[in-house]
């Protein structure tokens, strides 16, 4: 009964954490200009430019809203506005996005991401798309940037800003600072909206697996990992740190002058603290991934004798390069089946096992 109670408490605790994970307090502004408070799913900037996932309560229904469905939304202190504008890069076709506000005043400045970072400059009902130059694969310019031309145009009445547009870089801070100074010159007031610090998401993961082969050849491994991600930057990229144990038994060939050619088995055990950078190619039910990094740990080598002379056992501490690739398949929420091929001191056998993401 005690075990059952512990399991029930653990499940309730995990469900509570799972419900909160990946959401920040926020709001949407509907087409009637009413503000509806709730929670917004954390994701990358380029995804927020296309749509926003919102629910009124943590346990409530999750809905997806596109720029034509709402007037805008806010997450923490950041405000996004729905825009419909002529995309001068794409043949003057009408385009719709959610754009994050950077500066308000005589000229309002917004930014959004698609294939690249872009800016929208707004005055009254006029909206201008600002972009940088781009190059093709051969290094030839295939798109001439226009952002400095617009910055020059809006600052013409300001003698103090004469020719300063030439030194403005293509970044939020540089363009935002110039538009702010222009607004201060034109109307004496302007407001800058600073971006919040990117929220760090920590996911504890446990994994155990193995792969027995013919004879004594086999590998078993287990690890505990803390996966650190910044969802607003890139949900697919993570920094992993933890503890890892692996035991690999393989056949070693040995030839001595006084003995005939013979073989024996070697077991290599590694207990290490790895630090890796991982990239998940997909974030669907099937998630291929690869990783690269380094580790520090203890390597213990036991040679299993068969009556002949064998190399002496070894035990030492070492820094090692760590790399690998694999795939995880989600069974239910948090529970995955994983196949992993890893290099650490030596190329390991592939292992198949079970992982759980808390």
Q: What digits encode the pLDDT tens for the residues 121-168?
A: 999 999 999 999 887 767 777 788 899 999 999 999 999 998 999 999
Q: Which range, of 294-303, 304-313, 339-348, averages the lowest pLDDT?
A: 304-313
- Report the predicted TM-score, pTM, of the whole model to 2 decimal places: 0.61
Question: Domain residues of the chain, as ranges?
Answer: 22-192, 201-357
Strand runs labelled E in 108-217? 108-113, 117-123, 126-130, 134-135, 141-143, 191-192, 201-210
Which CATH number is 201-357's, of 2.40.160.20, 1.10.287.3510, 1.10.3210.10, 1.10.150.110? 2.40.160.20
Using CA atoms, how far residue 289 sits from 224, 282, 283, 293, 345, in Å, is: 17, 8, 10, 14, 21
Q: What digits encode the pLDDT tens for the residues 42-66?
A: 888 888 999 999 999 988 899 999 9
Q: What digits encode the pLDDT tens for the residues 62-108?
A: 999 999 999 999 998 899 999 999 998 888 899 999 999 999 999 99
CA 265 to chain centre: 42
CB 223 within 8 A of CB 244: yes
DSSP structure class, residue 200: P
Q: What digits encode the pLDDT tens for the residues 257-306?
A: 445 556 677 888 899 999 999 999 988 889 999 999 999 999 888 877 66
Quick one: pLDDT at residue 53? 95
How far is the C-alpha of 238 from the C-alpha of 228, rounded, in Å?
A: 5
How far is the C-alpha of 334 from the C-alpha of 206, rounded, in Å?
A: 11
Using CA atoms, how far residue 92 sits from 41, 85, 166, in Å, is: 32, 9, 26
CB 228 within 8 A of CB 201: yes
């Amino acid at each position: 009964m005690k075990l059952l109670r512990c399991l029930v408490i653990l499940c309730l605790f995990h469900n509570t954490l799972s419900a909160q994970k990946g959401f920040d307090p926020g709001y949407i502004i509907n087409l009637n200009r009413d503000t509806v408070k709730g929670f917004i799913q954390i994701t990358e900037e380029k995804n927020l430019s296309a749509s926003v996932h919102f629910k009124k309560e943590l346990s409530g229904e999750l809905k997806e809203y596109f720029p034509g469905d709402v007037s805008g939304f806010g997450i923490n202190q950041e405000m996004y506005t729905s825009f419909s504008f002529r995309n001068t890069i794409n043949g003057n076709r009408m385009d719709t996005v959610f754009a994050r506000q950077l500066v308000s005043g005589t000229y309002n400045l917004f930014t959004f991401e698609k294939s690249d970072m872009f800016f929208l400059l707004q005055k009254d009902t006029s909206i201008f798309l600002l972009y940088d130059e781009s190059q093709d694969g051969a290094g030839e310019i295939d798109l001439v940037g226009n952002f400095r031309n617009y910055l020059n145009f809006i600052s013409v009445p300001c003698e103090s800003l004469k020719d300063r547009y030439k030194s403005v870089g293509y970044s939020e801070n540089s363009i935002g600072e110039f538009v702010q100074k222009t607004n201060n010159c034109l109307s004496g007031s302007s407001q800058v909206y600073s971006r919040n610090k990117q929220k760090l998401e920590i996911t504890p993961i446990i994994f155990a697996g193995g792969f027995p082969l013919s004879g004594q050849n086999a590998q078993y491994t287990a690890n505990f990992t803390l996966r650190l991600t910044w969802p607003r930057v890139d949900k697919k990229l993570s920094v992993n740190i933890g503890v890892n144990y692996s035991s690999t038994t393989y056949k070693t060939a040995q030839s001595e002058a006084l003995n005939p050619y013979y073989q024996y088995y070697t077991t290599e055990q590694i207990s290490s603290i790895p630090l890796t950078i991982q990239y998940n190619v997909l974030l669907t039910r099937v998630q291929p991934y690869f990783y690269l990094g380094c580790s520090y740990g203890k390597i213990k080598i036991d040679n299993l004798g068969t009556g002949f002379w064998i190399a002496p056992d070894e035990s030492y501490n070492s820094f090692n390069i760590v790399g690998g690739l694999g795939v995880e398949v989600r069974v239910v929420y948090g529970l995955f089946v994983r196949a992993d091929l890893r290099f650490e001191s030596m190329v390991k056998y592939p292992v198949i096992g079970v992982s759980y993401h808390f």
